[in-house]
A and B are shown apart, each in its own frame.
Chain A
Amino acid sequence: MSSEKLVINTQVVGNVCKVDFIGNINEDADFEKIIALKMPEYHFNFDQVAMINSCGIREWISLITKIGTQATIKYFNCRQIVVEQINVVHGFITDKSQIQTFYTPYYCDKCNLEKQVLVEVKSINNRKAPAIKCDKCSSKMEFDAIEEHYFSFIPKK
């Protein structure tokens, strides 16, 4: 799994560099390409990130340290694994970073069904998960984490 190298696709639109991360963020992740662009604003898309391991975090923090002081970084489509790192690992995001959209995990105990729902940060109120209905049984799905923990990256209003 960790042998699959992370694919990084960049697209520059005006002042913004859109970056798609595809695969696993691990010790083989090479972010030099992003650093070399020296753009004032980056939009990171984590939609296709499957895994982040502790060595990958080291590389990531090194990336963020290099570009984070100059550029504004916006995080889009943060997978659960990314959100968990943001919450626990110091330095995974900088003060200038803005998380825009992220996935929230839900679970239906009846149907044994998991669901990842993409939400906007601004739509989250008081670190509470929005109510979601099960696609199968239509009953209210359970939020599949500790809310105050999972949403802890969102500043309290």
Chain B
Amino acid sequence: MENNTIAKIRKVRIPIKLKLIAVVILLVASSLSYYAYFALKLFREDKSAYIYETGLNTSEAIAKQVASFLDHALQITDYLGRIYANTPEQEKMAKSIFEANKNFIEFSIYKRTEVDGEFKLIFAVSDEISLSGQGLPVDYFIKYSQINPIPFLMIEKKRRYVEGYNPASQFPHLVLATFDAEKNEIYVARVKMDDLADLIANNKIYEILIIDKSGRLFLKKNLSAEIPQAKALFYNSLVDSVDRKDGVSNYVDENGTTFLVAHNQISGEDLFVFAEISKDRAFLAATTLMNKSLYFGIFLISIAIIIGIIFSRTITSSIEKLFSATSTLAQSDFKNRVELHSHDEIGALSDSFNYMADEIVRYMGQMGEKIRLENELKVAKLVQESFFPANNLKFGKLEIAAFYEPATECGGDWWGHLQINGKTVLMIADATGHGVPAALLTATANCSASNLEIMAQSDPSLLNSPAKMMRIVNKAVCDIGSQILMTFFIAVIDTKKNELIYANASHNHPLHFIPGQSGEEISKQNLHPLMDSNGPRLGERKDASYNDCTISFCSGESIVFFTDGIVECTNKEEKPWGNRNFLKSIINNINLESDKFRDNVVGDAKDFFAAHPLDDDITLIVTKFT
């Protein structure tokens, strides 16, 4: 039994603790990833817009600065050329202006000759210190210009000319030139690249370079490093696109690295500033932030797991306590109680559990009490059974066959007999109701019968008056003073005289069967109720009086004594067996032996009741005179 009960408790495969942790992690992880996905997407979009704009701004700013530098240098160049007029004073002034502009390393004037129309050098001044600083002779640029000729035609045409870095030069410099149409002179200045180079180099984020319209490099950070051909072609393609004075483009190099390239035309010049940055670097901040977010997310999930574990432990420890308590309860340990102090459903559940356990203990106590009472009832039944005589009796010419069955353990019906001086005193009684209180009254009846026996033995005249006997029994019942009353019938049968004297205390009238003429069909007319004596039920009042009635009987006659149970008990349709069926059964079986007669009548009744429990106690006594 116990093992079965335990076996019915299933094994815990997925503890609630795990489930709770899983839910907490799932919730946190999903909400964080959802948040991160959208936040970072927005951030990245915003950041790339910013990066593009910054690239463009950078290239524009540098373009402006370069334009301003060139403008300024060209103005000085023009100015130097214009104030020079072949006088020693002017020459001296020009030289001092030249020296004041530290960027200038050479200034020269070319004048168109009238003979061949060619431009011939008429004046030149150079910065000896700067040149010697580079280990170059003072006439370096005069010789240099013979190898790398100054494009006079272009200068004449454009009036102003700018030329950038030339790898042929040992002294990296810019060439600036203006044309004076009135004087037919071209002024050429060679200017150090340092200021512009610094400007470019100062930008730590972007790689800056300047290219002219023909694709030639004008200036870049590291002059000696070559621009890869593919990249140069890309730059050229950008420069060629007429519409795009500025813009941002993507460039993927041969290694697969993507570059963002912003470009801007320098105003007034055919020069373009490129500000370039690798996309990885541009988005470094965003990537860093995303990585940080990832770490932060992992950190948050870890926190969630820890909180989840702590949280679920507080919950599940209560559940585990409850679970172990129920398990021990299932193993018939009813002393165990759960002590939980949480003010939640589980706390309430523990109260319910404790209440249930208390109730079980209380119920078991009651069950024990009930079992004890039931045992007592069984004993009472055994005691009561001893009040009843044997079922089949024979005293000379008198046969008695009786049946008794209580509705519950103890019944309220009783019957008994006394054998005194060859006479039989037959008694039948029915206490109101049934069960223990009624059964107690039958004990009184039984006891009174014993007293009557003693009294009749000393005073045989008592046998002549069952009414007198009835008064004695009534007194005994009244003395108990209970609310329970009892119907009682006493018959004194004298088989020698074939005489029966009876007294009745409101009991069902016994039926006296007197057969008709031989061959005559037996009917209800042959049944004569013994109804001429009547008195109050026993226990109703102490002074009750009863009367004796005498009948005579012959051999072959019978008297059926009974309590109302047999006619009033019902079947499962609540229909009583009833008088009609009872009388019919008596008539059908009246000629049988007394025990058969009884058995058949009882059998008919029981067939009718079927399995329906008895509503009342049943007593049936068949007496036959042989």
Whether chain B is bound by chain A comes out as yes
A90-B536, A149-B531 known; A144 vs B579 contact (CB < 8 Å): yes
Interface status of A133 (Cβ within 8 A of chain B) = no
User: B507 within 8 Å of A by Cβ?
Assistant: yes
Interface positions of B from 418 to 455, Cβ below 8 Å from A: 430, 432-433
Could you tell me the distance in whole angstroms from the C-beta of A59 to the nearest C-beta in chain B?
11
Q: Tell me if B529 counts as interface (CB < 8 A to partner A).
A: yes
B505, B527, B537 pick with most chain A CB within 10 angstroms: B537
Q: State whether B524 touches A90 (Cβ < 8 A).
A: no
**Contact across chains for A58 and B509 when beta carbons are under 8 A apart:** no
- Cβ-based interface call for A145 (8 A): yes
**C-alpha spacing A146/B540, complex, angstroms:** 28
Asked, given contacts A145-B579, A146-B527, whether A55 binds B540 with beta carbons under 8 Å apart, the answer is no
Asked if A100 is an interface residue, CB under 8 A from chain B, the answer is: no
Residues in B neighbouring A61, C-beta threshold 8 A:
536, 540
B506 contacts chain A at the CB level, 8 A cutoff: yes
Tell me if A90 and B432 are in contact (CB < 8 A). no
Do B540 and A107 have beta carbons less than 8 Å apart? no
By a CB distance below 8 angstroms, the chain B residues around A149 are 509, 529, 531
Which residues 361-416 of B sit at the A interface, judged by CB distance below 8 A? none
CB distance from B413 to the nearest CB of A (A): 12
Residues of A within 8 A of B506 (CB): 88-91
Q: Considering the complex, which residues of chain B in the window 465-514 have a beta carbon less than 8 Å from any beta carbon of chain A?
A: 483, 485, 505-509, 511
Q: Which of B78-131 contact A (CB under 8 A)?
A: none
- A147 to B528 Cα, complex, angstroms: 10
B529 touches A90 (CB 8 A): no
Q: Chain A nearest CB: distance from B441 CB in Å?
A: 12
Known interface pairs A88-B507, A90-B505, A107-B580. Does A146 touch B485 (Cβ–Cβ under 8 Å)? no
Q: Which B residues are in CB contact (< 8 Å) with A57? A: 432, 537
Q: B509–A88 contact, CB under 8 A?
A: yes
- Provide the A22-62 mask, 1 if CB < 8 A to any CB of B, else 0: 00000000000000000000000000000000110110010
Give the docked Cα–Cα distance between A94 and B551 (Å). Answer: 27
Q: Is A148 interfacial (CB 8 A cutoff)?
A: yes
Chain A residues with CB under 8 Å of B580's CB are 107, 144
Of all chain A residues, the one with the shortest Cβ separation from B532 is A152
Contacts of B485 in A (CB 8 A): 54, 58
Alpha-carbon distance A61/B534, docked complex (angstroms): 15
B535 adjacent to chain A (CB < 8 Å) = yes
A91 — which chain B residues lie within 8 A by C-beta? 506, 536, 540
Chain B residues in 8 Å Cβ range of A97: none
CA distance A57 to B580 in the complex (A): 23
Does B583 lie within 8 Å of A146, measured CB to CB?
Answer: yes
Q: Which residues of A contact B531 (CB under 8 A)?
A: 87-88, 149, 152
Interface size of B as a range: 20 to 34
Report the interface size for chain A: residues with CB under 8 A from the other chain.
18
Determine the chain B residues whose CB is within 8 A of the CB of A55 once the complex forms.
Answer: 432-433
Partner of B432, one of A58, A88, A145, A146: A58
- On chain B, the residues within 8 Å of A54 by CB distance are 430, 432-433, 485
Q: How many whole Å from B381's CB to the nearest CB in chain A?
A: 22
Q: How far is the CB of B431 from chain A (nearest CB, A)?
A: 9
Q: Mark B530-552, 1 if CB is under 8 A from A, else 0.
A: 01001111001000000000000
Rounded to whole angstroms, the CA-CA distance of A121 and B528 in the bound complex is 22
Q: Which residues of A contact B433 (CB under 8 A)?
A: 54-55
Q: How far in angstroms is the closest Cβ of chain B from A111?
A: 14
Residue from the set B485, B506, B508 with the largest chain A CB neighbour count within 10 Å: B506
Contact of A88 among B508, B524, B527, B540 (CB under 8 A): B508
Question: Which residues of B sit under 8 angstroms from A145, Cβ to Cβ?
Answer: 579
A125 to B186 alpha-carbon distance, docked (Å): 172
Q: How far is the CA of A35 from the CA of B528 in the complex (A)?
A: 38
Chain A residues with CB under 8 Å of B524's CB are 146-147
Task: Please name the residue on chain A nearest to B535 by beta carbon.
Answer: A90
Per the bound structure, the CA–CA distance linking A88 and B430 in Å amounts to 13
Beta-carbon nearest neighbor of A149 in chain B: B529
Tell me the complex Cα distance, A55–B528, Å.
28
**Cβ < 8 Å to B, chain A residues 106-157:** 107, 144-149, 152
Contact with A along B571-588 (1 / 0, CB 8 A): 000000001100100000
**Residues of B with C-beta under 8 A to A152:** 529, 531
B508 contacts A90, C-beta separation under 8 Å: no
Taking CB as reference atom, which chain B residue is nearest A143? B524
Q: How far is the CA of A111 from the CA of B202 in the complex (A)?
A: 128
Query: In whole angstroms, what is the CA distance A91 to B528 when docked?
Result: 22
* A88–B524 alpha-carbon span in the complex (Å): 18
Q: Which residues of A contact B528 (CB under 8 A)?
A: 148
Please indicate the chain B residues that have their CB under 8 angstroms from the CB of A148 in the complex: 528-529
Q: What's the nearest-Cβ distance from chain A to residue B114, in Å?
A: 150
Could you tell me the distance in whole angstroms from the C-beta of B585 to the nearest C-beta in chain A? 14
| Binary contact track A52-74/B, C-beta < 8 Å → 1, others 0 | 00110110010000000000000
Q: How far is the CA of A57 from the CA of B536 in the complex (A)?
A: 11
Q: Closest approach, in angstroms, between the C-beta of B406 and any C-beta of chain A?
A: 16
Task: Kindly identify, within residues 563 to 611 of chain B, every residue whose CB is under 8 Å from any CB belonging to chain A.
Answer: 579-580, 583
Alpha-carbon gap, A152 to B433, bound state (A): 26
Give A148 to B511 CA distance when docked, in angstroms: 12
State A89–B564 Cα separation when bound (angstroms).
12
Query: When chains A and B are docked, how far (Å) is the Cα of A48 from the Cα of B508?
Result: 24
- Nearest residue, chain B, Cβ from A152: B531
When distances are taken between beta carbons in the complex, the residues of chain A under 8 Å from B579 are 144-145
Residues of chain B with a CB closer than 8 A to A58's CB: 432, 483, 485, 540
Question: Smallest CB–CB gap between B621 and chain A, Å?
Answer: 17
Complex Cα spacing A44 to B505, Å: 25
Min CB distance B528 to A, Å, is: 7
Give the Cβ gap from A51 to chain B, nearest Cβ, in Å: 10
The 5 closest A-B pairs by CB, nearest first: A54-B432, A149-B529, A90-B534, A89-B506, A90-B536
Report 9 cross-chain contacts, Cβ distance below 8 Å, ordered by A residue: A88-B507, A88-B531, A90-B506, A91-B506, A91-B540, A144-B579, A145-B579, A146-B583, A147-B524
Q: A90-B536, A146-B524 are in contact. List 14 more A-B contacts (CB 8 A).
A: A54-B433, A54-B485, A55-B433, A58-B432, A61-B536, A61-B540, A88-B507, A88-B509, A90-B505, A90-B506, A90-B534, A90-B537, A146-B529, A146-B583
